[in-house]
Structure 1
Amino acid sequence: MIFTLYFISGAEIAVILLIVVMVFGADKIPDIARTLGQTMKSVRNATDEIKSEITKSTETHTKPFKDEFNKVDVTKQIEEETKKVKDDLEDITGPIKRRF
């Protein structure tokens, strides 16, 4: 499969600009550019808002799961510490139990 990339060269840009000037006229080009810029800014702002809403939504919906994972993590730590203490007590009381 052969992919061909199409690039616009400087000459092609000049031809496009010449056609735009001929179709719209030199006096309307700044208005068109301004409108285009405002439209792109609106699209960018809308995209940023959508991203922030998605981020907020995922944080809100995943928070209970994160809390559960933290609880499981804390429970495992407590069980490990309890096991260590139990082993230490058995090591200390082992020789005492054997004497009696």
Structure 2
Amino acid sequence: MVPLFGMIPGGPELIILLGILVLLFGAEKVPKLARSSGQAMGEFKRGREELKDDLQETVEEEREAITASD
């Protein structure tokens, strides 16, 4: 299986990325940025789970309709 976004950065890479974030956004905005990113990832996860549940319900309903018509 090939990763979609390449390799996940390790310790030194994360430190460099954090330094770049501090330089770009300032030390006060980095926690706010991290918090909003976490909230966005949570919303994405909830949306994905809802879609998965809806698809499973649809498949179950179709199976029931097929078995009822036989």
| Fold agreement, TM-score > 0.5 | yes
Task: Report deviation, 1:8.
Answer: 2.6
Q: Identify the structure with the greater helix proportion.
A: 1
SS at match of 2:61: helix
After the TM superposition, which residues 1-100 of structure 1 pair with which residues of structure 2 at under 5 Å, given as runs?
Answer: 6=7, 8-67=9-68
- Separation (CA, whole Å) in 1 of partners of 2:18 and 2:52: 35
TM-score (norm 1): 0.57
- The runs of 5 or more residues in structure 2 that have no matched partner are 1-5
SS at match of 2:47: helix
CA RMSD after TM alignment: 1.9
Instruction: Assess, with a 3 A threshold, how the Cα gap between structure 1 residues 12 and 27 changes in structure 2: closer, same or farther.
Output: same
TM-score (norm 2): 0.78
- Separation (CA, whole Å) in 2 of partners of 1:35 and 1:6: 24
Larger radius of gyration: 1
Q: Comparing both chains, which one has the higher relative contact order based on Cα–Cα distances under 8 Å and sequence gaps of 6 or more?
A: 2
Instruction: Assess, with a 3 A threshold, how the Cα gap between structure 1 residues 63 and 47 changes in structure 2: closer, same or farther.
Output: same
- Separation (CA, whole Å) in 2 of partners of 1:7 and 1:25: 24
Count of aligned pairs: 65
